[in-house]
Amino acid sequence: MMAAACARTLSKVGRLVLDTPKCRVSNTVALVPRMTMRCQGRAYGTGGAGFRSRLLLAAPVRGSGRVLGCAFLLGGGFGLYQTIKLTLQRHLAEEKANAPELGTDLKLTLYQYKTCPFCSKVRAFLDYHGLPYEIVEVNPVMRQEIKWSTYRKVPILMVNETVQLNDSSVIISALKTYLVSKEKTISEILTFYPEMKAKNDRGKDVIEFGNKYWVMVHDADADHLYPEKETRKEEIKWRQWADDWLVHLISPNVYRTPTEALASFDYIVREGKFGTFEGFFAKYFGAAAMWIISKRLKNKHHLQDDVRKDLYKAVNDWVAAIGKNKKFMGGDQPNLADLAVFGVLRVMEGLQSFDDMMEHTKVKNWYRRMQKVTQHVS
């Protein structure tokens, strides 16, 4: 900016000289009016902080002011051109350095429920990294769209129509590994996240995945991805927190009252894939059922009577962990924890619980930044 201001000043000087009447010629020199050239803002030079450069223009015998004027115009224009060129080059370099890497060789198909927080996490990741993908909305009643899969949950991500990725955190970790290293295929990367049989708190057999919060890259890539000592540990901690705690606050809050439950199911039916009868049944009977179930969930997860307080506390804990001096948990750019938390909270948009959260917590600025960087371009 400082160089550009000086270049503009040179151009003005040149035009002034061109417009000056013919200079008086003596036996030795053609005298040109003495002029002071100032750059906008602070002046820099060899004379110290208060130094202001002064330029005394002199021409040889029979010299012309117009020649000097042309020289100034050419010099100023060239300086301005170089300044703009360097500024654009620097800007493009910064954009390239900050832009997420694209995996354009992947054909991705996401099987989802739009209002599912785990599916929303995956979309946030794909949108932020600019990865094109197709969506198959799954009917939550019949689930015919995934009848071909032995894994019966969503999200499911199909890669190049042949490789199936299950579990939102595995999908995100595997794709991030691929984008960073590019040394292995998606199939090879999936071997780092083995399926394991486990039992949930009700004694039911479930499938879990090992290492699902880890991005599997070499030390050199890890040092670039996680420049500070604790950043990797913090990312894993908050990704797990989003799955194990934050997501369990959504249902009790969006179904907190009969009115909120009905509004939530109206949104779910509008955005989801339901038949006419299914939609009517889901909206009214589903809303009543989930209002009752939300009470059980509140007890199961030991929430307060006013579940909004737990939501507010969780969100404010997240903002406090980011700190006042960073835009995101990942610094100037979101990391996987930012994308996970944003994906979970986003499913409440348009509902009373979301409006209350934005009004009564400190999350607004971070959330608006996340909306901006994850805007999906069709």
CA–CA dist 49, 166 (Å, integer): 63
Q: Are 188 and 174 in contact (CB under 8 A)?
A: no
- Tell me the two tokens of residue 368: 């608006």
Q: How many residues does the chain have?
A: 378
Residue 195, H or E segment: strand 195-199
Q: Is 209 helix (H, G, I), strand (E, B) or coil?
A: strand
3-state secondary structure of 157: strand
Peptide bond into 155 cis (omega under 30): yes
6 part of the active site: no
Active-site residue 125, yes or no?
no
Which of 6, 23, 39, 113 is flagged as catalytic? 113
Task: Indicate which residue of 6, 23, 39, 116 is catalytic.
Answer: 116
Is 70 part of the annotated catalytic residue set?
Answer: no
Strands (E) located in 210-364: none
**Which of 6, 23, 111, 118 is an active site residue?**
118
Q: Out of 6, 119, 128, 178, pick the active-site residue.
A: 119
**Helices marked H in 191-286:** 219-225, 231-244, 250-254, 258-271, 276-281
Q: What is the largest CA-CA distance in the chain?
A: 108
119 included as an active-site residue: yes
Sign of CA dihedral 286, 291, 293, 294: positive
DSSP structure class, residue 139: P
Buried b (16+ CB within 10 A) or exposed e, 63-100: bebeebbeebbeebeebbeebeeeeeeeeeeeeeeeee
Contacts 24+ apart (CB under 8 A), 220-228: 221/180, 221/181, 225/180
The radius of gyration of the chain from alpha carbons, rounded to an integer in Å, stands at 31
**Residue 108: which H helix or E strand, with range?**
strand 108-112
Is residue 18 a contact partner of residue 91, using CB atoms and an 8 Å limit?
A: no
Distance from C-alpha of 328 to C-alpha of 49, rounded to nearest angstrom: 38
Task: Give the active site residues.
Answer: 113, 116, 118-119
